[in-house]
Chain A
Amino acid sequence: DAGVIQSPRHEVTEMGQEVTLRCKPISGHDYLFWYRQTMMRGLELLIYFNNNVPIDDSGMPEDRFSAKMPNASFSTLKIQPSEPRDSAVYFCASSFRDRGIEQYFGPGTRLTVT
């Protein structure tokens, strides 16, 4: 299995620019999760989808953040406009409910907003 795939692995952008992070979940998994990890706040869930439908977006910090899942094999997390405090590592994870609720994480995207 290829595992969860994320792109880009690193992103450096200037404040005010739009940033789009991409994720391909493990084939056959029906849940997809977006997390953010910082030293101060640890690993935080932003939003998750079930069968491409957003279920809980209460962790999305503000309206500048949006996420979509147009099909079972692709999801995006967009930040517009970006701010320096958005600098973090963003992880995508997926799971298959019938095998419990273990989540399998991608390698992450390290975002730096200057």
Chain B
Amino acid sequence: EDQVTQSPEALRLQEGESSSLNCSYTVSGLRGLFWYRQDPGKGPEFLFTLYSAGEEKEKERLKATLTKKESFLHITAPKPEDSATYLCAVPGGTSYGKLTFGQGTILTVHP
């Protein structure tokens, strides 16, 4: 069974304090790993797709990286507007579109 585990569950940072969120996964035949951001009261917003180990993608203060067992979302010099829940997800081994989501990391950035 596909499993996605995110850590930590919650992370509090001061503005400008860089850190990383972790997403470890167990899936047969990785066909991509997705990162989403979710603000309170809204649907998840797509951020990145990573397809192979060693791949990196960046968007503003966020950089996502992928290894064979886990992915990291690095946040450099975060701002209060980066506060949100960050979700990672992997597609099921044989079922296209059947994403398994992690429980998410709640990030709070204090000014």
Contact = CB atoms under 8 A, between A and B. Distances in A.
Contacts of A45: 98-100
How many B residues are at the interface, by size bracket? 20 to 34
Interface string A41-60: 01111001010000110000
Interface of B is mostly: loop
A106 B32 contact: no
Contacts of A42: 101-104
A42 B104 CA distance: 8
Given A42-B104, A43-B87, A104 B97 contact: no
Contacts, number: 57
B3 to A, nearest CB: 12
Given A42-B103, A101-B91, A102-B34, A108 B97 contact: no
How many A residues are at the interface, by size bracket? 20 to 34
Contact of B43 (A95, A100, A102, A107): A107
B94 to A, nearest CB: 10
Nearest to B32: A101
Given A95-B97, A102-B49, A105-B45, 20 more contacts: A31-B97, A42-B101, A42-B102, A43-B44, A43-B101, A45-B98, A45-B100, A48-B97, A48-B98, A55-B95, A55-B96, A56-B95, A100-B49, A101-B32, A101-B49, A102-B34, A102-B46, A104-B46, A107-B43, A108-B42
